[in-house]
Amino acid sequence: MGEVTWREWRWVMAVAGLLLAASTLPYLVGYLAQTPESHFGGALLDRVDYHSHLAKMWQGYRGEWRYRLLFTPEEHEGVYLQTFYVALGHLARWLGLELPLTYQVARLACGFLMLLTIYRFVAHFVAPVQTRQVAFRLATAASGLGWLTEIFAPTPPGGISPIDFWLLDAYTYLALLTSPHFCAATALLLTLFLLLLRRPAGPTLRDGTLAALASVALGLIHPYALLLADGVPALYWGLEGLRSRRVPWRRLAALTALGMAQAPLLLYDLWVFRSQPVFAEWSAQNITLSPPPRYYLLGYGVLLTLGLGVGMRRRDSRIAFPLLWVTLVAVLAYLPWNLQRRFLEGVQVPLGLLAGVGLVWIVDCGLRIAKGRWLAHAAVAALAAMSNLYLTAGLTLAAANRSPALFWPADVLAGVDWLGEHSAWDETVLAAFETGNLVPARIGHRVVLGHWMETVDYEGKREAVARFYEAETPDGERLALLGEWGVGYVFHGPGERAMGGFDPQAAPYLEPVLRRGEVTLYRVEGRP
């Protein structure tokens, strides 16, 4: 395994600090732009899933370890899933921190750890320090050509925008910007690979044990990532065994240990999704299909183009492992299952490694002056990062201008906070999708509708909630829906008014309990 000097680590930590600062800037601007009437929501890109993560944290904050879906009204037992965010909730309670602050601390801490691990992974395959640094920049800060396509061919309404602006699984910087669990999962996956690869003869008992523990931790965050954790080393060692015509017993033993360690976790997950109807429905709605291949080609265009330089070199066994990783992801991303694009998690690391080696080789062949080579490396790295710069600047401006997509009216937050103080978590709240998505995140209470995946029968409930707020709907149908869902409170604010002309004030089965500006809360009569 290539050694890393302290001087290199100082450089890595400096670059990591810059990336973390850039990813934090829009959040700081958002919080500073708050007014008494408009509050920053704490999310930049994927507000729906951010709220889902906070809802999971709330359950840990209440002292629970078993996870329930708070975005659906059906009664069900909790299960041991989503442990990362449930554990963060426990940590917030132990430290006395608010959940949004805990989330941001976790984002920064896990992001920093991921960046250090990426450099260590690159250093294992690449010896020259300059090449390591180029590969690290491409593996962390690079993005796609979305900024260019948006200038010359903007996305039409209803079309698919460039993936470098929204596909969080696909890019290191987007993970750094939004999701601590993505950062933690990538760090664990790379650590596992390093433990398995650090010794030419194969992993020792200690390395194999640590790798097995890392794989279990990875499985607790993203069970599907275990296909990569096991599949890439198996392919790599299998090809080496065929080439050498020897059975790699130590490596085979390590893979067996991984499988044995992961088996209880995977069997438990299988049992949950097969035997628990609510979680089975959640799994069925968890559809994350890949876009057409051209979007990946544009999204990874710079890295793929530079990576071709590696293929033009003489055969180099050092790059076989990252090359197999990228190849396996390309296959998994289009197999006929619902989780296609989930397997992109972390793939920018091997792509950046290959691109870095290719870029240095191409530039060194074309330029003989050291200063010219350095400038060429810097120029390509800056060009590759343009979409991330574009995105960060756009989000910062949106936060400064208090975009409605990033901010909440104070009246809505006051209504949700009242529910947090005067009702129990299982007194189900009926609201429009946007409000329903907020409630579990802000106070940890259950709602009828609030998440495209975690609301059971999402399409059916979306249509039923829309009917509830329409003026033409008979009261008998409304009462039936309230009873079916076990609703305790009905939220009526700007989002709900936009759905229809229903006036809850005229409904004898709804009792107003709070009026605040544009928001009125109603308690369902007959509830204890």
Residue 309 pLDDT greater than 80, yes or no: no
Q: Are residues 338 and 468 in the same domain?
A: no
Residue 367 pLDDT grade (very low, low, confident, very high; cuts 50, 70, 90): low
The H or E element that residue 264 is part of is helix 249-275
The band of 368, judged by pLDDT with boundaries at 50, 70 and 90, is low
User: Mean pLDDT, the chain, as a whole number?
Assistant: 93
Same domain assignment for residues 421 and 275? no
In a domain, 73, yes or no: no
Region 226-232: what's the mean pLDDT?
A: 98
Q: Which domain-ending residue is among 378, 398, 418?
A: 398
Rounded distance between C-alpha atoms, residue 181 and residue 186, angstroms: 8
Q: Is the pLDDT of residue 75 over 90?
A: yes
Phi then psi dihedrals of residue 512, to 5 deg: -65, 130
How many domains is the chain partitioned into structurally?
A: 2
For residues 208 and 251, the answer to whether their CB atoms sit within 8 Å is no
Average pLDDT over residues 360-374: 71
Same domain, 355 and 415: no
> Is 93 a domain residue?
no
pLDDT of residue 151: 78
pLDDT (tens digit per residue) in 141-151: 999 888 888 77
Specify the higher pLDDT residue, 368 or 345.
345
Domain span holding position 384: 6-40+98-398
Task: Give the helix/strand (H/E) hosting 408.
Answer: strand 407-409
DSSP 461-480: HHHHHHHHTSTTS-HHHHHH
Q: Are residues 166 and 239 in the same domain?
A: yes
pTM for the whole thing?
Answer: 0.95
pLDDT tens digits along 183-199:
999 999 999 999 999 99
Q: For the segment 428-487, what is each residue's pLDDT rounded down to a tens digit?
A: 999 999 999 999 999 999 999 999 999 999 999 999 999 999 999 999 999 999 999 999
Of 298-312, 317-331, 385-399, give the lowest mean pLDDT range: 298-312
Domain edge (last residue) among 380, 398, 416:
398
Residue 379 in any domain: the answer is yes
pLDDT in tens, 96-133: 999 999 999 999 999 999 999 999 999 999 999 999 99
Provide the CA 88 distance to its chain's centre, in angstroms: 15
Enumerate residues 6+ apart whose C-beta is below 8 A from 474: none
Bridge partners, residue 487, by sequence: 428
| Contacts (Cβ under 8 Å, ≥6 apart) of 443 | 58, 416, 417, 419, 420, 425
pLDDT of residue 248: 84
Domain co-membership, 429 together with 487: yes
Cβ pair 110, 80 in contact under 8 A: no
Same domain as 134, residue 109: yes
Q: Which of 244-253, 360-369, 467-476 has the lowest mean pLDDT?
A: 360-369
Label residue 265 by pLDDT band (50, 70, 90): very high
In a domain, 70, yes or no: no
Are 309 and 451 found together in one domain? no
DSSP β-bridge partners for residue 429: 447, 489
d(C-alpha 207, C-alpha 205), whole Å: 6
Q: Is 48 among the domain residues?
A: no
Domain annotation covers residue 292: yes
Same domain? 379 vs 456: no
CATH code of the domain containing 493: 3.40.50.12610
Confidence of residue 370 (pLDDT cuts 50, 70, 90): low
Alpha-carbon gap, residue 27 to 29, rounded angstroms: 5
Boundary of a domain, candidates 398, 432, 467 = 398
Q: Tell me the mean pLDDT in the region 31-37.
A: 97
- Residue 404, pLDDT score: 95
Alpha helices in 96-225 (DSSP H): 99-125, 129-140, 146-152, 172-178, 180-197, 205-221
The set of residues, in sequence order, having a beta carbon less than 8 Å from that of 479 and lying 6+ positions away, is 509
Looking at the structure, tell me whether residues 313 and 435 fall in a common domain: no
Beta-bridged to residue 407, according to DSSP, are: 40
Does 278 share its domain with 363? yes
Residues 448 and 350 in one domain: no
Query: Is position 85 within any domain?
Result: no
Question: With bands split at pLDDT 50, 70 and 90, how would you rate the model's confidence at 311?
Answer: low
Lowest mean pLDDT among 36-50, 250-264, 299-313, 457-471: 299-313
How do residues 498-522 score in pLDDT, each as one tens digit?
999 999 999 999 999 999 999 999 9
Residue 515, SS3 per DSSP: strand
DSSP state of 67: B
Same domain flag for 227 and 329:
yes
Residue 184 lies in a domain: yes
- Residue 528, pLDDT score: 46
User: Token match 């330089």: residue?
Assistant: 309
